Structure 1
Amino acid sequence: MEGGLGFRNLLCFNKAMLGKQVWRLIRYPNLLVSRILKSKYYPKDSILNCETPKNASWFWQSIISAREAIKGGILKRVGSGKSIRIWKDQWIPNNLNGRPTTGMPASGEEQKVEELISNFRWKRNEIYRRFNREDAENILKIPISLSRSGDMHFWTHCKNGEFSVKSCYQVLLKEDRSMERGAKGEAGSSYDDSNKQIWKTLWSLNIKHKIKLFIWRCITNTLTARETIFRRTKQGSPICSRCGDRMETIEHILFHCHQAQKVWKLAPIQWDGIQNQTGCFKKWWAALSQTTSRAEGRQHIALTANLLWQLWKDRNEMEFEGKEREGLKIVQKASAEWMEYEEAWKGKNEKSTSETDGAIGSARERGREEGELLELQIATKKAAVGHKLGIGIVAKEAGGRIRAEWTLVERSAHRDIQDEAVAVRLALMKAKQQGWQRIKIISANKQLIALLKAGKGDNPNTATLVEDINVLANLFQMCSFEVRNISNMSLSNQISHYALSILMDEERFFGSP
């Protein structure tokens, strides 16, 4: 069941586990097992394209059965381009299947991507001549690696490009459910999204696990109410023993019975806007889940879950022990348990915050002890029309004195994080040319700085740029990265705007002290 207790679809899970073995053979070709299998089953080809011999072992047939499951999610990241076949490999991130949509030449010659590269730049004229406009634009968005590392495989379903069983399983499960709906003649709808919101809200609530399980059983209609027992066994009475008026369903126990109505009248929170949904608990909870975006929405839902749990406990005490609690005591008990969990959660967060602040303070003290650095403030600006990207770089001393300015023009990839990464890479190259050894890169792009500190990109293009930036950063005695608001980098911002009006790069130096 989607979103329920998380039981695995074993067929999809098994394929995902086998897919991990395929990925290992691709990513680590020098392992002993990789070399043995290659020499036996695909000596002249890739595992992604080789044919399976009729006498292949059961083990190899199992591995190959998972190949198709992961093949569509593997993209070749351009390094030198020597191993990438232009027309047969998946290497263009923004194309649907990773391959060119342009028709293959009639000659059918084997061509490699390295033929399209010269001096770490794409051969723009050659690309526009060989490919249609859409392909050409997408190819020119791919950054060329300065480190000239070999071409690598990138798993597109994970931001860091590394294969994971979890991501593969989710992809296979989604495809499996899509096929099931197609076989039944059903179409995907907002109902699927609603289900996801229900489970996401439930499992993220700050309440006891037994209450989460209780709510899950309410949603899936698996609680042992009288009506459920009678429907399944045809034994006993389906009528509510407390009011004797209606059948005892989950909805009757929690909303319609006179005891439940008393409790809701006394409750500190009311849900009048969804009263018309109380005939079906799942629909009512789905409507409730939509309130998470409002102020204190999650806390209110958590309190509501505690109220529902106490109503169910009260029903069981009445059913099996003949005891009946007052409505006010039910509300007080639910509120007390809710407050207990909220206080524990706040205490945990306050401790975490104080520890983080202390760590930041220590880092700042260490920075002061290390002495002054040159700051390289970087800003970018895209042209409103076309692909022009203006880059402004300002090198400043600690006292604010400007040492250098660069006004640069590049081609925009029309993705802010990639454009900013290109600018950072250029800034590091300029700093190295000047012989500077201690620098700090300042950017307004929080996402990029986070990727640089993690050392991994979020797609094949940024992965190449982050890799290059890390290689360049290691060439300095000290190189750090910092986020700063663009309003505090007015000069570099002005220069990036000015860069859109020039044709050639400009640079200015102001001498050393």
Structure 2
Amino acid sequence: MVADLIDQVKTREGGGVTKDGLFSIKSAYKLLSKLEEEGQSARASSSRSRPWESIPDAVWNRVWSIQTLPKIKAFLWRVCNEAIASGVGLRHRNVNIDPICVRCGVHKETRDHILLGCSFARSVWFGSSLQFSPSDNPSLIDWIRSWEVWFRQDKRLAREALSKAAFICWYLWRARNELSLKGIIWTSSEVLQLAEKAYLEFSALIKDSDKGGLGIIFRDHTGRCLKARSIPHILGSIIQGELLAIRHALNLAIDLGVDNLLVQSDCKDAILFMEEKKSPDWEVEGLVANVVRLKSSFVSISFSFVSKAMNNVSDALARKALSLEYLTDWPNSIRWFQELCDSEVSGCTHPLPQ
């Protein structure tokens, strides 16, 4: 050890040598102290680098937006952050264990191997309704990023599929722990049955939830946004939500002094009810009658059906309401709102040309 330190001193320019060109214990000590400080600084800099810092925000946003149990979201966050007790993870924490997968006995047990790469995990994914086949060298981070393509194609189907995938990941981890800690072997069929059962129970819970949101946007005849509003609301059904949004829009239009109004909705039944071309069910009969009465408050009012693709702004405002406690009016300066408005041809409700 002493020899190593002396070698370090000698390799530095002027190491341990005074201005007179003479070696001294004091000058060598100063240099060694400096070397130690530099080493500590380098280690501190390295320790500040965290795994999550290299992961794109899109991945974290996707993880926290998955429709699943909070504990599974937290688990996926830990997985992405390499904070689970995998064989490789434990070895990195100086735990003296064999990092080889206890299931296949061939590859090192990493997060990607447990959830995607192991032959057992592959059989589970292939046997699921998703029929997913991981690549030769799968990466959980890349896999989560790839879901953006699915969401651009069909948000509803992608949301359901990702929810199922989250439950499968959770039960793959449970199966791994049962084998590693208790020696209990789960078959791929058992993993799928448990994951599917948990997913269906969760979906039923979400479906029965009465929390909803209303989204309303007013534009003038030039397309300029006059008002954008998100309203959290207890809803009994989808049609009730559509009618409540229309009633709120009409009351708001009255408050704003609007006389001529075109109301657009992506719900055909709601439009037919407003035009009195279809009789509503008894559950919403009173609500429809209330909205119809409001029509007399306008000089001119008409109703029009638009596709969901043409109704992105009000749909986004309704989704925002799910995370709110109070009615919220959004300023035009918000970036996500500006981008939505620019991409949509027409809004939910706007005055007719004067």
Question: Normalization by structure 2: what TM-score?
Answer: 0.49
Question: Normalization by structure 1: what TM-score?
Answer: 0.35
